[in-house]
Amino acid sequence: MGGATRWAQALIALAVSALVMSTLLSKRGFERRPPLLITLGVACAWTFVQWIPLPSPLVQSVSPTLEALRVDGVAIAGVDGFSRLSMDPSSTLRALTFLLTLSGVAFVALRVAIYERGRYGLMASVAGFAGLAALVTGIHELFDLRSLYGLYEPRHGQPLLMAPLFNTNHFGCLMAVGTVTSLGLFLYPKQSSLQRSMWVLVGVSCLVSVAATLSRGAMIGLAAGFIAMLFTLLAQRMQAIRGSSRRRREKFFATTVPVGIMIACGLIVAVYVGATGVMTQLENTTLDEVHAPTSKFAAWKSSIHLLEESPWVGVGRGAFESTFTRVHPASAFATFSNPENEGLQAILEWGIPASVVIGAMAVWMLFLALRRWKDGPLAASAMGAVIIVLFQSNFDFGMELLGLAIPVTVLLATLAYVPLAEMSPRLSTRVQAQRIAHAAVIFAGAIALFTGLTRVVDEDHVTLRGSSSRAEILDAIEHHPLDYFGYALLTQQQLAAKEPGAIRTLNHSLRLHPTHPGLHRIAAQLLVRSGLTNQAESEYATAIRYSPDPRSALTELIATLDPARAARSIPVDVRVETTLRALTELQRPDIAALWLERVLIYTRDIRAAESLHALSMTAKNYDLAEKASRARCEIIPSKRCQLELARVLGLAKKHAEVVITLEDVVTWRGRVDDQFSGWLMLCDARIALVQVSEAKECLRRLDVSGLVKTGEPEIQRRKDVVKQLEIDAAGIKPPPLPPGMMPAILR
């Protein structure tokens, strides 16, 4: 499961601790500090500083806004809360155990990587791991299994692929790494043909899996990694050009050509399986996705507020999710556990100074790793794989999972290793103590993962959604002092018990999640009870605006306020279809009509105009139908729109306005039936206004227009009416229209 669960991460940490201890008796140590270990060590040290309790004035001086929120929250809940740089101590402790585990993996891998066969083994472990993940995915898809290993079901919907990494972008990145790594292993000369064939199968299976994920980032990253690997190999080849021998040619035709055919077939299969779908996604990528309020790009923009509030020390490693809802309006629709950009996440959670230091060390490490470019296909493929992850990390957070972070750490170790040397007895004793301490802190982290000290926000939300006690709620608040959920549940319990502090708790919840619809509904209910209906309208409006499904909020709104207030409480900027469907299901067309009328005042939404026209015609409210028709004609002018408006005006007995609306019918071109209907309604309006000469001229022009056959019954009937009007004396009230007249007007 990619090490996503706490118990899986704990088991991995225990195994890594044992691996570190296995080097205890070794008398050989690094000649100099490996940059990979230094980078991870600094990250661990700063994360630890963020987690430990510090004096409140110190924290207040570097993070005033967040510390003030934390102090207010723990005071409201009445829990003990230490001041820390991290605003989510439990998540930061879990992040610390994560980094410690990676440091142990890096330590062991760096010792193995000093030998060529060791680097081959490390690369083989990464490719084998990826190939095994592809095999597991293939079995699950073949048998249509909907739970991983038949044991674990995803909590957040059904993924596209039932893979060891549920997120298809993360899994696609791992498969891209496996593809490039397998290619490097295939090109490694010091192995048998059987081994090379095996790496071909692994590479093809990973490539097929990449295509099946339909991940744009993974496919583009794979292309970037492959190009980097190709150029590295070309550079190596150009440096070591040698003459070809007959033996080499024989080996080429006997081994390389058949394997190349297998690779080509694999590529064809990959394209057949899913590459077409990936290209479709790439073609459908538009700027709408960039500007969508629930997109990661909008999340990046909102994240700047967190950076402005705590630029020096960050919010704490792992604390992004609990602090982000306060600054991101779209959190009501979509939550983000990470900003899906590793660089941005580092700055937000560690702060600018620490991120600059850690980033500089990482660049230094990568610079040293690039110096290994001459070390054959293994180094070339490792560089290509690292580039894949670097690219993907700009748009995702796959490195936050051990299932991807450990393989990347192993690959970096094959590039950034330093030599080993025999140590003096005195130095050996000190190094052994360091190894014991290293293994001990990793072991302690593993034990912490088995306890509630490392619960993340999502785990507490799942637990608290059931029947939660007051003690469980307060415990969650203590572990996540800036998470709104605990305060929201505490508010409900306080309101049920009629405790005086309920309103204060509710206000604090709204500070931590200003757009949560449930919190605004609670606030609206309290305001209605207090007789403050104007403020209640505002709260209901916010609740509906940020509700993914507004039906429950609308039901409560309609049951609480009168129709006019209810219509005013529905925002004009919500989706027309969703809101109208909900009001229709609630059988409140009156409120729907009032609301749509308001929508047309403030917006130019054609869907609102059409919906209001349909509702008004059904209710025979021709004045409102006229407003809707005129709005439609203003938004999208057309001859058909003029006809609809003229029909509504005719039904409303506004014949003079019908004449004004259709006075340009003589210039109409296009559909014959529209022209005929326009002329007919114009003539009917002239007749209704007793404009005899104008009506005669209208019918004459229609008769000779070529739109109808001579002697058309509809025209003849109207000529008879006009003739009767001529017979009648001037000033006499015109006779009522014959029975056949109204259907013609309505047509």
One DSSP character per residue, 438-457 reads HHHHHHHHHHHHTSGGG--H
In a domain, 530, yes or no: no
67: in domain: no
**C-alpha span between 526 and 226 (Å, rounded):** 61
pLDDT of residue 68: 96
Same domain as 327, residue 217: yes
Helix (H) or strand (E) holding 28: strand 28-30
Answer yes or no: do 219 and 338 share one domain.
yes
Distance of CA 179 to the CA centre of its chain: 27
- Compute the distance between CA of residue 337 and CA of residue 324 in angstroms, rounded to an integer: 9
Tell me, yes or no, whether 635 lies in a domain: no
pLDDT at 737: 53
Tokens standing for residue 254: 């006997």
* Domain closes at, from 464, 495, 512: 512
What are the residues whose beta carbons fall under 8 Å from the beta carbon of 453, sequence distance 6 or more?
A: 90, 93, 479
pLDDT at 259: 40
Residues 270 and 395 in one domain: yes
pLDDT of residue 146: 82
Please tell me whether residues 497 and 380 are part of one structural domain: no
- Domain boundary residue, one of 477, 494, 512: 512
Q: Give the CA angle between residues 198, 201, 202 to the nearest 5°.
A: 90
Distances, alpha carbon 653 to alpha carbons 252, 359, 362, 497, 694, in Å: 92, 76, 79, 61, 18
User: Does some domain include residue 570?
Assistant: no
In a domain, 583, yes or no: no
Say which residue the tokens 């142990």 belong to: 104
Geometric angle at alpha carbon 249, from 246 and 253, rounded to 5°:
140
Do both 323 and 182 map to the same domain?
yes
Contact call for residues 85 and 50 (beta carbons, < 8 A):
yes
Q: How far, rounded to the nearest angstrom, does the alpha carbon of residue 218 sit from its chain's CA centroid?
A: 16
Co-location of 341 and 460 in the same domain? no
Which whole-number Å values give the CA distances from 41 to 107, 131, 274, in the listed order? 11, 31, 41
- Which secondary structure element, helix H or strand E, spans residue 388, and what is its range? helix 376-392
Cβ count within 10 A of residue 270:
20
Please calculate the CA angle 24-26-28 and round it to the nearest 5 degrees: 130
* CA dihedral over 684, 687, 688, 691, signed as positive or negative: positive
Residue 128 counted as domain residue: yes
Both 296 and 157 in one domain: the answer is yes
Please check whether residues 229 and 160 belong to one and the same domain: yes
Return the sign of the alpha-carbon dihedral for residues 340, 346, 351, 353: negative
Say what the pTM is. Answer: 0.84
pLDDT value for 238: 83
Verify that 357 and 482 share a domain, yes or no: no
CA dist., res. 596 & res. 449, Å (int):
54
Cα 305 from chain centroid (whole Å) = 19
Please state the domain count of the chain. Answer: 3
Q: Examine residue 651 and state whether it is found in any structural domain, yes or no.
A: no
Q: Are 675 and 707 in contact (CB under 8 A)?
A: yes
Whether residues 290 and 192 fall in one domain: yes
Intervals of the chain under pLDDT 70:
1, 156-157, 242-290, 711, 729-747
Segments forming the whole domain that contains residue 685: 662-747
Half-sphere CA count of 96, side-chain side, radius 13 A = 28
Q: Where are the alpha helices (DSSP H) in 561-654?
A: 563-569, 576-585, 589-602, 606-619, 622-635, 639-651
Could you give the CA distance from residue 84 to residue 54 in angstroms, rounded to a whole number? 5
Check: CB of residue 90 under 8 Å from CB of residue 479.
Answer: yes
**402: phi then psi, degrees, rounded to nearest 5:** -65, -30
CA distance linking residue 309 with residue 15, whole number of Å: 39
3-class secondary-structure state, position 425:
helix
Same domain, 389 and 508: no
For residue 604, the SS3 value is coil
The contacts of residue 478 (CB under 8 Å, 6+ apart) are: 74, 77, 79, 80, 81
Cβ partners under 8 Å of residue 615, min gap 6: 589, 592, 593, 596
Which of 363, 381, 399 finishes a domain? 399
393 lies in the same domain as 468: no
Domain-located, residue 735:
yes
